[in-house]
């Protein structure tokens, strides 16, 4: 599992009301939700992002509401991976559960600007800034989460537990 794309850098405490405002929660469709991703900060953001791009943010990314529509909206943009200095815990769970890679690496966040080309290997914990020729290492996931990520999220995990093929 490896992601390579342009970085979009955001600040600290990006909450889920900013990632996807509540008025759009009447939809459960990732494509529809993605059209309003980050709208309060930058209404043009969804139009500027290309599939494969990588979101980079400061402390406490995804704080606030438990709405899974937030990681769904990000994934709906074709973004496969978020690198942040830290994540709010419900967002962290939601992202892993739906197969959106989340990597906690404050050093990488400090050393990255919007437009830099990043290469991220979540399971290896490697974040490389190809534009600047730097490499940082994230804290490894606990064993259970490695298993969950390898399975592709909680849906395949539960299917396995239930013996559903």
Partner 1 sequence: MAMTVAEKIIARHAGLERVEPGQIVSARVDLAMGNDVTTPVAVERFREMGAGRVFDPEKVAIVLSHFVPAKDIPSSQLARVCREFAREQRIRWFFEVGKGGIEHVLLPEMGLVAPGDLVIGADSHSCTYGALGAFATGVGSTDLAAVLALGEIWLRVPETLRVVWRGRPGPWVMGKDMALALIAKIGDDGARYMCVEHVGEGVEALSMDSRLTLSNMAIEAGAKAGIIPADSRTLEYVAERQRASGLEREVEPVVSDPDATFAGVVELDLSELGPQVAAPFLPSNSGPVQQLAGTPVDQVFIGSCTNGKLEDLRVAAAVLKGRKVHPSIRCIVIPATQRVFQRALEEGLIAIFLEAGCQVEGPTCGPCLGGYAGVLGPGERCLSTSNRNYRGRMGHPEAEVYLANPAVAAATAVAGQIVHPDDVLS
Residues of this chain that bind partner 1 (CB under 8 A): 13, 15, 17-18, 21-23, 25-28, 39-41, 59-60, 63-69, 71-72, 86, 88-90, 93-94, 97-98, 142-145, 148, 153-155, 157-159, 161-162, 164
Q: Kindly tell me which of 83 and 118 has the beta carbon lying closer to partner 1.
A: 83
Q: How far is the CB of 8 from partner 1 (least distance, A)?
A: 18
- Exposure string over 3-39, b if 16+ CB within 10 A, otherwise e: bbbbbbbbeeebbbebbbeeebeeeeebeebbbbbbb
Q: How far is the CB of 4 from partner 1 (least distance, A)?
A: 27
Q: Cβ contacts of residue 129 below 8 Å, gap of 6+? A: 7, 108, 111, 112, 116, 117, 118, 135, 136
Q: Kindly tell me which of 47 and 133 has the beta carbon lying closer to partner 1.
A: 47
Q: How far is the CB of 114 from partner 1 (least distance, A)?
A: 20
Q: Kindly tell me which of 133 and 165 has the beta carbon lying closer to partner 1.
A: 165
Q: How far is the CB of 32 from partner 1 (least distance, A)?
A: 10
Q: Kindly tell me which of 98 and 135 has the beta carbon lying closer to partner 1.
A: 98
């Amino acid at each position: 599992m490896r992601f390579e794309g342009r970085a979009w850098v955001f600040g600290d405490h990006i909450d889920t009301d900013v990632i996807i405002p509540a008025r759009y929660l009447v939809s459960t469709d990732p494509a529809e939700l993605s059209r309003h991703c980050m709208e309060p900060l930058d209404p043009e953001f969804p139009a500027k992002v290309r599939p494969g791009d990588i979101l980079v943010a400061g402390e406490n990314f995804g704080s606030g509401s438990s709405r899974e529509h937030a990681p769904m909206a990000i994934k709906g943009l074709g973004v496969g991976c978020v690198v942040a200095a830290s994540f709010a815990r419900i967002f962290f769970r939601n992202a892993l559960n739906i197969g959106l890679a989340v990597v906690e690496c404050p050093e990488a966040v400090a050393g990255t600007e919007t437009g830099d080309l990043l290469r991220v290997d979540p399971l290896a914990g490697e974040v490389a800034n190809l534009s600047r020729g730097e490499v940082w290492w994230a804290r490894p996931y606990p064993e259970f989460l490695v298993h969950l990520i390898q399975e592709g999220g909680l849906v395949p995990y539960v299917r396995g537990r239930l013996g559903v093929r």
